[in-house]
Amino acid sequence: MASRKVLLLFAFTLLLSSSAVVSRTVSSEFTTSVLNVSFVLQQALDILSIEPLEQEFVSLSAINSSSSSSFSLPLLSRDTIFKTQMKDYVALLNSRLARDSARVNSLRSKLSLALNQILPEDLSTPVVSGLSQGSGEYFSRIGVGTPPKQYYMTIDTGSDVNWIQCQPCSFSRCYQQSDPIYNPKLSSSYRSLGCNTQQCAALDRAGCSGTTCQYQVSYGDGSYTVGDFVTETLSFGNSGTVPNVAIGCGHNNQGLFAGAAGLIGLGGGKISLTRQVKAKSFSYCLVDRDSADSGSLEFNSAFPSDSVLAPLLKNPKLDTFYYVGLIGFSVGGKPVQIPPSVFALGSSGNGGVIVDCGTAISRLPTQAYVALRDSFRKYAGNLKSTSGFALFDTCYDFSGLSTVSVPTVSFLFSGGKSLNLPAKNYLVPVDSMGTFCFAFAPTRSSLSIIGNVQQQRTRVSYDLVNNRVGFAPSKC
């Protein structure tokens, strides 16, 4: 009997402790956010007619590969760089969602290959995605070579290998891009990498052509890039340069990259740009995808003082992805009943929550999504609901409204911190008439993804030394 009393006392103490944690992360009062319907719809109309921007990008300071100086470069959403050919916003959104599904499949494929230690099949017989809209949601203007030639490059936190389309490259072996294809013969800083170099050994998929290192990257949507692995000088504006960056010179590239000249990998692997410049931290702020404004990508800059901090976790099986210690959600300041184990990163590398700049719509395991969605529906009962759209099953009719008050949605992180999302970061337009949908989606995978819609207008900072992620709203 005495031991039973001790167990009951321990359970009661644990319950009180858990309640205290919840009370520190969520408000005791019901909370709402204001969605500026008119402003968001005007952006949706404007993006259809916007002319591509001509940008001269200037970095904040010069760096070299062994320094820890800070530098920055602007980021632009793809539809401000490559003029959309879509006739209306519905068509534009459908093309975005198609790219997004391909992106999610690519990330899951990469993780599955790592967990099962399977290498991609040889790409001598190309498998090309049928989508032609182009991949990548945020781009920057980066100089490649000496003297530098400027190219639009996709930034990607879910990839490690930097690469660019490279001559010689026939029409059948390269996709269409807006800039001229990079010609290594015109650069004095171009150097081939040998098969025995550290950079070559760091590739997941490497080969040799004589003594020259060959790289090969395939993506889960059927896209791929193959070519020589080399070093080049990258330039950021008129002053900042990074010599001897390992980069793929792609002679055979197909799939979802139309428009961009190549990709800058910001993942956690050994050959990503972040690792090659020995960055102690990096951060980005992504503007709304319908905005003509620019955000920024920064290296070694200080965290904003008002950042909401969360643990940065590491997957023992894959060092590319950035995992964050998410434990749940609140809606209207009230915690959603989701077991924290749903978001846990397992010792085998399964599960967990990654922060990804290339995925648009956040994906949650079905159990977590249903709980979050049902909670939002419950507290949004006064809003006029309408039929679903594409992957969205919770939509509302805000036509005729200038603004609307909606329940606040918040991320809850381990360590007792919460991040309130702006209303436009979880209610997105699906047409130009006033239909908005709840911007989360379910997945049968155990991997959760925080997408760029939820990250809009938020400075997301990665402290690579102290293993922290910071979120600071309105820091573009």
Q: For the chain, which residues score pLDDT lower than 50?
A: 1-26, 55-68, 119-134
71, 301 Cβ separation under 8 angstroms: no
CA dist., res. 40 & res. 396, Å (int): 14
pLDDT at 69: 66
Q: Count CB neighbours of 474 within 10 A.
A: 11
Give me the pLDDT at residue 83, please: 67
Buried b (16+ CB within 10 A) or exposed e, 402-426: eebebbbbbbbbbeebbbbbbbbbb
Strands 448-450 and 353-355: parallel
Catalytic, 356? Answer yes
How far CA 262 is from CA of 71, 128, 297, 366, 381, in Å, comes to: 21, 17, 17, 34, 46
CA distance 321 to 324: 10
Nearest by Cα to 383 from 140, 105, 37: 37
Residue-level pLDDT at 112: 87
Rounded to whole angstroms, the Cα distance separating 40 from 221 reads 31
What is the model's pLDDT at position 137?
Answer: 80
- CA–CA gap between residue 446 and residue 353 (Å, rounded): 9
Bridge-based pairing of strands 468-473 and 427-429 is unpaired
DSSP secondary-structure letter at 183? -
Q: Which of helix, strand or coil describes residue 443?
A: strand
- Of residues 79, 156, 179, 221, which has the active-site annotation? 156
| C-beta of residue 397 within 8 angstroms of C-beta of residue 384 | yes
Annotated active-site residue in 100, 221, 288, 356? 356
Identify the helix (H) or strand (E) that includes residue 410.
Answer: strand 409-413
Residue 197 corresponds to which amino acid? T
d(CA 110, CA 318): 9
Pairing of the two strands 409-413 and 404-407: unpaired
Residues contacting 378, CB < 8 A, separation 6+: 331
319 close to 367: Cβ distance less than 8 angstroms: no
Cα separation, 332 vs 417, in Å, equals: 16
Rounded CA separation 162/173 (Å) = 19
Residue 393 annotated in active site: no
**Tokens 């759209």, located at residue:** 389
Which residues partner with 309 through β-bridges? 470
17: Cβ contacts below 8 Å, ≥ 6 apart: none
**Is residue 374 within a helix (H) or strand (E), and if so which, with residue range?**
helix 366-379
Closest alpha carbon to 297 in 152, 464, 162, 155 = 155
- 277 touches 68 (CB < 8 A): no
Sign of the Cα torsion 108, 109, 114, 117 reads positive
pLDDT at 66: 39
pLDDT at 121: 38
Rounded-to-integer distance, Cα 72 and Cα 284, Å: 9
Which domains, ranges and CATH numbers included, belong to the chain?
25-44+303-473 (2.40.70.10), 52-96+120-289 (2.40.70.10)
Assigned token pair, 243: 């010599």
pTM of the model: 0.86
Instruction: Give the pLDDT confidence score for residue 194 in this predicted structure.
Output: 94
Q: How far is CA 304 from CA 284, 326, 435, in A?
A: 12, 20, 35
